[in-house]
Structure 1
Amino acid sequence: MANERKTEAIVRSHFDKYKLSIEVEEQISDNFKINKLLKTASKKATGKGFPEFIISYKETSDLIIVIECKHDISKHESLHHDKYDKYAVDGALLYATYLSKDFDVIAIAVSGDSHKNLKISHYLHLKNEKKAVEIFGNILLTPEDYLNGYLKSPDKFRQDYNALLEFTKKLNEKLHTYKILESQRSLLISCILISLENEGFKRSYQSHKIPKNLANLLVNTVSNELESANILGKKLENLNIQFGFIKTDTSLSTKANVLKELIDEIDANINQFIKTHEYFDVLGQLYIEFLRYANSDKGLGIVLTPPHITDFFAELAQVNKNSIAFDNCTGTGGFLISAMKKMIEDAKGDEQKIKQIKSTQLIGIEYQAHIFALAVSNMYIHQDGKTNIINGSCFDDEIIEQVKDRSPTVGFLNPPYKADKKTDTDELEFILNNLECLITGGTCIAIVPMQSALSQSGKVYELKKKLLEKHTLEAVLSMPNELFSNSNVAVVSCIMIFTAHKPHSEYKETYFGYYKDDGFVKRKSLGRIDAYGRWDSVKKHWLATYLNRKSEAGLSANKVVSANDEWCAEAYMDTDFSKISEDDFIKEIKKYVAFNILN
């Protein structure tokens, strides 16, 4: 036991340097809630638990750190983590299990009696989760690094994202009762988020007793903020028109406390999420949720890309700090935000480069005025890039030249999906438009209905020929069937990847990926989510297979194709029979029988 004091002294010495920001307690805590949770957490199952250290943050009440020490490295952890009194990891995880009923917990196990032979393990056990997950490495970090790592961890993001979806659902229902139109709900939220960036507004909005005055202040604050960000002329005039309904809406401008309470809730739930999880298309997700009530925009073919797929695009394109990203069907700006995130990561803290990325290396075009307003708002909330969003048609010659002048290197798009095959612009025409604007050798990535890849006659066939005459088809990836279920759209899609202005060689092998299982599952109240945390590993496998052009049975194949062929993995890949069981066979037979009965 005496040697264990040496381990404790090392830990104590490390954290004592940070007592301005944290509270370090040993064995017991002054926090009633913590003591109550540890009341039955004994490592020997005999009563109360006494961790070596309990650390809480003075500014963050949701997270605590619990530390268990052992002097002997051989007592670091057992095979099954079930010998709580004998091993450091086992004990720390036990305490985390109890404490996670009310807190997010970082459990730290420290073994060894000197700095030279110290062994350290970290686990994150989120509130109300069943299991802890490993996090960080084999060294003690600063409290700030622990806090940042916790806030940015995939598991914390998943928890916060699910909470955001729950809040969005309730918010949508509330806005519905206030009779605020579905098409205006995202505009209202974006207006509030921009205003909350203004410190004067944030300090004073609570003091306004007359609803109309607050509504006017809200819209005027946004106009001033956008003007200060160099959004001027017709662009600003358009945005002022889009936000103007707030001044006259009956619920917002005449009913006491309605707008004030909305601002409070949005600040606490949405604004806090944005501050924690930068470069996430929150407004896009809100728009998807609000569209569940509306039918008007679906007729325009709007299908918003899920955020994990916009991030996947940026990685497929291997976006870096020198990329110039272009989206000719910008929507709410999801692709540009994902590209910005990747580019800023690659800038590695170079503030001058980051400023350049935000101000000159993100270009977007959006045709619809109300969605253009959302895109500009979204880019503003994510700190710039908004001055390069153009309101107009991507097929306008003047706009095309304006984009070409900026020499975009990477193009992303999810074009409007045509409702009328005779009159609507085809999805492949939007791809040709995007490619036209890119530099030679640039990469264009688009997500389109699978039928665009399968057509072997008519207009789509002619467009496929035109694409191959001018550009190289690098890959086609078949996407999950229910990818767009959150938008209430049942379209089977694929991702097409092209290299710009290099004609497709007749000897070129195109990569085809059967990327149908992204790990997401449907949940009644939350939609399609990464409930089991599988996406990260799935994405890594998909990327590795694509970037190395690996042929893998059941997943991918490489094939020489022309416009006459079907562009999909299903037509070319080998079946992985090792993954087919008797149960699969029975299930398919039942499906076949059911089909025959129903038809």
Structure 2
Amino acid sequence: MEETGISETVTENIFRKQYGAGKFIEKSAIPKHYGFQSKKGTNNKGYPDFFKDLDDYAIIVEAKAIKHSEAETEVQFYMLNNQIDKDLIGIAISGQDISQIKVTYFYKLKGSSEILPFKVKDSLIPLNSLHKKFLKHKNGEFISNEELTTILKNLNETFHADNKIRDTDRSLFFSGLMIALTNNNFRNIYQNITIPSKEEIASVKVAILEAHNLNKAIVEAITKQLESKINNLSKEYSWADKFSFIKNVDFPLVKYKEIIKIIEEKIYTPYMLDEKQDILGKAYKIFLSRAGSAENKNIILTPDHIKGLMIKLARLNVSDVVLDTCTGSGGFLMEAMEKMLNLANDNDSIIANIKEKQLIGFEVDSVLFALACSNMFLHGDGRTNLLYRSSLLKNDTENIINSTDNDLLMYIRSLKPTKCIINPPYENKNPILFTKQALDYLEPNGKLIIIMPTPTLVKHQKNGGLTHDILKMAKLDFVIKMPQNIFTEQKRTVNTSIFGFTKTSHDKNDDVLFYNLKDDGLISIQHKGRLDKNNRWNDIENEIIDCLNNSKEIKNICEKRKIYKNDVLIASGVQNAKNSHYELVKFSDLFNFEKGSLASDDSEDGKYHFITASTEWKTHSNFTHDCEAIIYATHAAGSLGRTHYINGKFVASNLCLILTPKNVDNYPINLEFYNIYLSTIREKIVSDLADGTSKLTIGKDVLADYLIEYIPKVEQDAYAENYITNYKKLIQELQETEKKMQTKINEILSKL
């Protein structure tokens, strides 16, 4: 039974509109002689939603409103349970909008019971294209994601051996070979290139490599393919210079040709014939797996399934102009282009316009810019408006003298960008700066979809902070909290969320939908990374989209919140479940903050408590404080937000803050009560404030400004008397009982 507000009929109509009326036979008209069986397991007939019988194969289609796993299960059931004696293609479709549909393709060959997936993602492709892709899959002319990953890893080991290719050059080297292979002349001659002749060797006075001629041919092919289409607002960029390191690649010629042949046959040919993807972004992540330089650690690439979700959240149409102000390897722009080209329905003029005028990208890293341009070139182009420069205006790191900030701003605005999808650098103030700059570029009512550290808006919500400026420009529509493990393949633990903005000012009464994606369904598999092994992501993604599109609330998953209370901005949202009549005050209104003094491993035998972020207390021979306090963990990633109440002599770890009462006249507090209170809201505080790109911490300043409820002292004391006092008595009784048990067991053992 479908949920209120969504309809399977909507999904079916999307399919009908895409392929035209009468192209497929509908459920009620499918002839009985095809022998489809009921999915209920009875002897009755059953029928898929759509069916098409062609000369060499038949197509079976199942549609669901949002439960994509059911569409997949049912289409595979009908592929197996019928009397059709030919190859079969299965299509599972779900979703309520053409820009956000999920589509999975399967095929089963005649005489086989094995159902295999197509390498096509979330698009209803024309039947002639489907025919070509089916033949490629049937004849084995494709490569799976798993095979691609294995080949790239093997190439990485080859490049790494004897340090033949530096870690920072490997992704460029690979992309260069892919680009060179697009040159028909190079592809036809590279196997016949020989070592330098005696005459060539005699004509130079330096040592010459065996691969000299092949290296020269590669660089020439790359330059020829990429030489055009550098935007005139870009900084100067030379393809020959960027790939000049290839001239010094020192593989034996036979092995070198074998490497290129592997790339041509296993990657390039399937890539050009099959669905395009961010193959260079995938290679970049794999090739950096051996890299250890600091500069590489500042780049965090968006996982593919999150990239796909963000594209869907933008709800693209064929007239959109898409902007990415920090393009990276070009993944967002490639997916956006693929989505819009699919919506163009083979209209050549629309397709040309999309590639020439509707894709805008900025990238300041020279390697990533080369990868983005290479990716777009391999993808059918779309490089016209890729700019090698920072998208941030008033950027002191660039000294361009013939193109002002205003020139750049006016140029981008002249292109009228309507959607911006970005994953900005996370260091320093970059996330908030990129948010504001993206909104500056966008057209009125344009959409910004950005993944960035969860605390970004909270960190800048003080009066005069950039969060206020942003909310004057744009309405915050939603916040989707990401699992902290989505970047583990890149060896990162980052607290991130996807934020959705519309460029129209945020009213203080506007609701924001907060969605907590605790689990994305992917699991980590050794040597393979995070995979959707249990096929959960499709349904999870559809649920997210349904909640956002229809403002649905699901207990403990998503809820609508205001981000203003009594005219005070609370960017993390005011939770509805809270007792809203209590006064909201800053942490620093209630507590003095003092950092602990000892490293956590500096414990020693002694009679004083040494309190760390751990649950267990240690000891020390000295103490620094003799008072009542709460010890609050702020720099121990696995223990963030853990609290300890202490009354007496102690010393605290330097990973913690010591909280003591500050304003006892205006805000008297019972520290035992607030220890319980802070422990209760620990998950929310950590979710809202934890920051960092390698190790999560809670900054002292953001914690000091964080708003919590002040509970009247009489209520604090009543709670402490009714519950904490009794709890301590029970703990004491438990400890005494444990001692008695130990004494008794020792007595028994002594008699043996």
TM-score normalised per structure 1: 0.70
- What is the root-mean-square deviation of aligned Cα atoms in Å? 3.8
Partner of 1:516: 518
Of all paired residues, the percent bearing the same amino acid is 28
Cα drift, residue 159 of structure 1: 7.7
- Residue 166 of structure 1 pairs with residue 175 of structure 2: no
- 1:167 CA drift (Å): 1.5
1:264-305 Cα distance to aligned partner (Å, 9 max, x none): 111122223422543411111111112221133556621001
d(CA) in 2 for partners of 1:565 and 1:343? 37
1:596 aligns with 2:568: no
**Counterpart-to-counterpart distance in 1, 2:153 and 2:305:** 20
Deviation at 1:76, TM superposition (A): 4.6
Asked if the contact 1:331/1:371 (under 8 Å) is kept, the reply is: yes
Change (3 A) 1:150 1:450: farther
Task: State the AA in 1 paired with 2:153.
Answer: K
Q: Distance in 1 between matches of 2:142 and 2:484?
A: 22
Q: Which string of whole-angstrom CA distances, capped at 9 and with x for unpartnered residues, describes residues 206-238 of structure 1?
A: 111222111111111111111255778986743
Deviation string 1:332-364 (CA, Å, 9 cap, x unpaired) is 111101111111111011122111101111000
Matched residue, 1:435: 439
Alpha-carbon distance between aligned partners in 2 of 1:366 and 1:227, rounded to the nearest angstrom: 18
Q: What SS class does the counterpart of residue 209 from structure 1 fall into?
A: coil
Identify if the C-alpha distance between structure 1 residues 385 and 451 changes in structure 2 by more than 3 Å, giving closer, same or farther: same
Distance 1:189 1:233, change over 3 A: farther
- Structure 2 residue 225 is the aligned partner of structure 1 residue 222: no
SS in 1 for 2:239: helix
Q: Please name the residue that 1:348 is paired with.
A: 345
Supply the distance in 2 between the matched residues of 1:144 and 1:498 (Cα, whole angstroms): 36
Q: Which residue of 2 aligns with 1:426?
A: 430
319, 325, 328: which one aligns with 1:328: 325
Where in structure 2 are the equivalents of 1:345-494 lying within 5 Å? 345-396=342-393, 397=405, 398-418=407-427, 424-455=428-459, 462-494=465-497
What does 1:291-330 correspond to in 2, within 5 Å? 291-296=288-293, 301-330=298-327
Candidates 143, 160, 164, aligned match of 1:176: 160
Q: Is the 8 A contact 1:513 1:556 kept in 2?
A: yes
> Residue type of the partner of 1:319?
L
**SS class of match (1:220):** helix
State the distance in 2 between where 1:134 and 1:372 align. 33
Query: What secondary structure, in the 3-state scheme, does the structure 1 residue paired with 2:570 have?
Result: coil
Inter-partner Cα distance in structure 2 for 1:164 and 1:370: 22
Q: Deviations over 1:513-541 (max 9, x none)?
A: 11232221111111112222222222122
Native 8 Å contact 1:340 1:358 kept in 2: yes
1:462 shift after superposition: 1.4
CA distance in 2, matches of 1:565, 1:233: 39
Residue 330 and residue 80 in structure 1: after superposition, are their counterparts in 2 closer, same or farther (change >3 A)?
same
Q: What does 1:27-42 correspond to in 2, within 5 Å?
A: none
Question: Which entry has the higher C-alpha Rg, 1 or 2?
Answer: 2
Letter aligned with residue 447 of structure 1: I
For structure 2, the residue ranges without an aligned partner over 5 or more in a row are 1-30, 44-77, 91-105, 121-125, 196-210, 394-404, 579-612, 619-752
Q: 1:458 to 1:391 in 2, by over 3 A?
A: same
Q: Distance in 1 between matches of 2:453 and 2:141?
A: 30
Between the aligned partners of 1:471 and 1:323, the Cα distance in structure 2 is 19
Contact kept, 8 Å, 1:443 with 1:498, in 2: the verdict is yes
| Equivalent of residue 499 in structure 2, options 490, 496, 499 | 496
1:379 to partner: Cα distance:
0.8
* C-alpha deviation, 1:194, in angstroms: 1.0
Cα pair 1:108 1:121 within 8 Å, conserved: no
Query: Which of 552, 556, 569 pairs up with 1:564?
Result: 569
User: Is the aligned partner of 1:207 residue 2:207?
Assistant: no
337, 353, 359: which is aligned to 2:334?
Answer: 337
SS for the counterpart of 2:144 is helix
Match of 2:182 in 1: 197
Aligned runs of 1:235-314 on 2, under 5 Å? Answer: 237-251=237-251, 255-296=252-293, 301-314=298-311
Partners in 2 of 1:453 and 1:287 — Cα distance?
Answer: 30
Quote how far apart the aligned CAs of 1:457 are. Answer: 5.8
Paired residues of 2:80 and 2:113 also in contact (CA < 8 A) = no
Per-residue deviation, residues 574-595 of structure 1 (Å, max 9, x unmatched): 9xxxxxxxxxxxxxxxxxxx96
Alpha-carbon separation, structure 1, partners of 2:507 and 2:377: 42
SS in 1 for 2:443: coil
Conserved? CA contact 1:314–1:338, under 8 Å: yes
| Structure 1 unaligned regions, length at least 5 | 1-70, 84-105, 419-423, 575-593
Q: How has the CA–CA distance of structure 1 residues 74 and 320 changed in structure 2, closer, same or farther, with 3 Å as cutoff?
A: closer
Question: How much has 1:152 moved relative to structure 2?
Answer: 8.6
Cα distance in 2, alignment partners of residues 393 and 457 from structure 1: 25
For 2:368 and 2:218, the matched residues in 1 are separated by: 20
CA distance 1:405–1:178, shift in 2 (3 Å): farther
Change in 2 beyond 3 A, CA 1:290/1:214:
same
**Deviation per residue, 1:297-321 (Å, 9 max, x gap):** 5566210011222221121010111
Matched-pair contact (CA < 8 Å) for 2:230–2:387: no
CA distance in 2, matches of 1:452, 1:144: 44
Counterpart for residue 52 of structure 1: none
Tell me, in whole angstroms, the C-alpha distance in 2 between the residues paired with 1:413 and 1:515: 19
Q: Give matches, 1:92-103, under 5 Å.
A: none
| Counterpart contact for 1:454–1:568, Cα < 8 Å | no
Q: In structure 1, how many angstroms separate the alpha carbons of the residues matched to 2:388 and 2:448?
A: 21
Measure the CA separation in 1 of the matches of 2:155 and 2:442. Answer: 40
- Aligned pairs for 1:97-112 within 5 A: 110-111=82-83
Residues 520 and 537, structure 2, Cα contact 8 Å, conserved in 1: yes
Asked whether the 8 Å contact 1:223–1:236 carries over to 2, the reply is no
One-letter identity of the residue aligned with 1:514: N
Picking from 178, 181, 185, the partner of 2:170 is 185
1:132/1:299 Cα in 2 relative to 1: closer, same or farther (>3 Å)?
Answer: closer
Residues 294 and 476 of structure 1: CA distance in aligned 2, closer, same or farther (over 3 Å): same
TM-score (norm 2): 0.56
Structure-2 change in CA distance of 1:275 and 1:454 (3 Å)? same
Question: Do the aligned partners of 1:152 and 1:276 also contact (CA within 8 Å) in 2?
Answer: no
- Taking structure 1 as reference, are residues 521 and 434 closer, same or farther at Cα in structure 2, changes over 3 Å only? same
- Looking at structure 1, the residues matched to 454 and 141 of structure 2 have their Cα atoms a distance apart, in angstroms, of 31
| Conserved 8 A contact 1:507-1:560 | yes
Counterpart of 2:733?
Answer: none
- Give 3-state SS (helix, strand or coil) of 2:515's partner: strand
SS in structure 1 opposite 2:569?
coil
Query: Do the aligned partners of residues 248 and 235 (structure 1) sit closer, same or farther apart at CA in structure 2, a change above 3 Å counting?
Result: farther
Contact 2:230 2:386 in 1 (8 A): no
With over 3 angstroms needed to count, the CA separation of the structure-2 counterparts of 1:74 and 1:260, relative to structure 1, is closer
Partner SS for 1:292: helix
- Greater helix percent: which structure? 1
Aligned partners of 1:476 and 1:568 also within 8 Å: no
Return the letter of the residue paired with 1:181: R
SS in 1 for 2:384: helix
